[in-house]
Chain A
Amino acid sequence: MIIITTVLAIALFMYSASIFLYLYRILKGPTTSDKVVALDSIGMNLVAIVALLSMLLDTNAYLDVILLIALLAFIGTVSFAKFVEKGKVIERERDN
C-alpha cells in the first residue's frame, strides 16, 4: 500500500511539474496557437491528475469528471482554433 501511495505521489509531482512547464509556454508563447496547444495539453494533464487523485483517495466518484474535462478541453480547443482561423466562432450562414 505504501508503495502505491509513493508511486502515485511521484506521478502527481511529475504531472504538476509538466503543468508548470506548459504555463511557461502559455506566458512566453510567441503566437496564439502555441498558447492554445499548451492549454489543451494542460487539460489532458488535468485528466491524468484527476485519475491519479481518484486512485489516491480510493474512490470512483471522480470518473465522470475525467470525461467532462476531456470533452470541455476538446470543445474549447476547437472553438479557439476556429477563432484563430476565421475570426468568428459561430457563423450565421456558411458559404460552402
Chain B
Amino acid sequence: MKTNDVLLRNVTKVVVFIIFLFSLHLFLAGHYNPGGGFVAGLISAGAVTLTLIAYDSQTVRSMLNINTIMMTGVGLLFAVGTGMIGILTGDPFLTHKFGHVDLPILGDTSLHTATIFDLGVYLVVVGVTLTIIQTIGESD
C-alpha cells in the first residue's frame, strides 16, 4: 500500500530547524544557564531521528553524509586536546584558560576553553546516539 506523508514531511521540514536552533541555544547557554553539551547533543540527535522517521535512512544519509563513528572519535579528540592545553602551558591536565578577546565583529567577548570541551561532549553524544539508532534501525 502506497502512503503519502505530506503533513508529516512538511512539518518535519519546519520543526527540524527549530530543534537545531534550540539545541544550539542550549549548547551556547550551558555556561550560565541550564543546558550544555549533553542535552544539546541529545536534542540534535532527536532532530535527525525525526527526519529518519519522516523519510528513510538512505535519504537521510544523502542529506547529511556523516560518519557517526568518526564523529565520536573527533569529539573525544576535542576533549583530550583541551586537556593538553593545560599540559603545554605547564599547568595540570584539563586546566582551562579563559579571558576577554576583542573579536572583529562581535567586539569584547568572554571566551573559555571549556566550550571546546563541551563541543567534544556534544559530538560524542550525537555520534553515539545516531550510531545506536541507525544500527538498530537498519538491522532486519
The minimal Cβ–Cβ distance linking A66 to chain B, given in whole angstroms, is 11
> Is B22 touching A67 in the complex (CB atoms < 8 A)?
yes
The minimal Cβ–Cβ distance linking B88 to chain A, given in whole angstroms, is 36
> Is B138 touching A90 in the complex (CB atoms < 8 A)?
yes
> Is B43 touching A82 in the complex (CB atoms < 8 A)?
no
Interface size on A, residues (CB 8 A): 22
Interface of B is mostly: helix
Which residues does chain B contribute within 8 Å of A89, judged by CB atoms? 53, 137
Given known contacts A61-B34, A71-B19, A94 and B50 CB-to-CB distance under 8 angstroms: no
The minimal Cβ–Cβ distance linking A30 to chain B, given in whole angstroms, is 24
> Is B53 touching A92 in the complex (CB atoms < 8 A)?
no
| Alpha-carbon distance A15/B101, docked complex (angstroms) | 49
Of all chain A residues, the one with the shortest Cβ separation from B54 is A78
| Alpha-carbon distance A74/B15, docked complex (angstroms) | 10
Question: 10 nearest interchain CB pairs?
Answer: A90-B137, A91-B56, A94-B56, A90-B52, A93-B58, A79-B53, A75-B50, A96-B2, A61-B34, A78-B53
